[in-house]
Chain A
Amino acid sequence: ETGVTQTPRHLVMGMTNKKSLKCEQHLGHNAMYWYKQSAKKPLELMFVYSLEERVENNSVPSRFSPECPNSSHLFLHLHTLQPEDSALYLCASSQRGLPGYGYTFGSGTRLTVV
């Protein structure tokens, strides 16, 4: 258990479905992130929530919609996805302003779009 819990671990969805990924951190961190990990590509930052401020990668399609109701929970809402969206989606948290500490990642959700 890493302190960052992601559910579900695996998800298969059709292109017309709507689903949500959930992330919960138990570390008291003040920033949470969504990353996408595809084969043969670097980890891609999708969204950041830090101290209630949201920062996003402008290249992320609108079919991905984040929600951060509080500092411990983060959601990624998915709708009308494409097969190329199949990837491992990783949630991470960190304590901004605390030097020397990196990101704590969850185990990820393996998403397959059919």
Chain B
Amino acid sequence: GQQVMQIPQYQHVQEGEDFTTYCNSSTTLSNIQWYKQRPGGHPVFLIQLVKSGEVKKQKRLTFQFGEAKKNSSLHITATQTTDVGTYFCAGRSGAGSYQLTFGKGTKLSVIP
């Protein structure tokens, strides 16, 4: 079945440093979504990418979808303590598919 691998599993950064998490799928995806889960919280939807090579920005967050639509990345510039949490990617193999396969997530810690 479809697998979505996410690295790294953990990342500790000094406040102000950049952070990147990578997501790789075993199959071509129709779209990919990113979620953030704060400690003790629930996943919150950040963004969806659909087109090959797509790049989207939300303030300090930059999301990319690979040309082959099998990988994606989330980059945070100049991390802040409010960025702490676990970032999940979730891929969908077919546009009408019910199955949204989540990666294990990257847990980000920011040292003030």
Binding site for B on A (CB under 8 A): 2, 31, 40-43, 45, 48, 50, 55, 90, 99-108
Contacts and interface: CB of A to CB of B under 8 A. Distances in A.
21 contacts: A31-B98, A42-B103, A42-B104, A43-B43, A43-B88, A43-B90, A45-B99, A55-B98, A90-B42, A90-B43, A99-B48, A99-B50, A100-B48, A100-B50, A102-B33, A102-B35, A102-B46, A103-B45, A104-B45, A105-B44, A107-B41
Contacts of A108: 42
Given A42-B4, A43-B88, A101 B48 contact: yes
Contacts of A40: 104
Nearest to B44: A105
Nearest to B105: A42
A40 B44 CA distance: 19
B48 A107 contact: no
Contacts of A31: 98
A103 B101 CA distance: 12
B90 to A, nearest CB: 8
A50 B97 CA distance: 11
Interface of B: 4, 33, 35, 41-48, 50, 88, 90, 98-105
Given A42-B103, A105-B44, 10 more contacts: A45-B100, A48-B98, A50-B98, A99-B50, A102-B35, A102-B46, A103-B45, A105-B43, A106-B42, A107-B42
A104 B4 CA distance: 20
Nearest to B9: A40
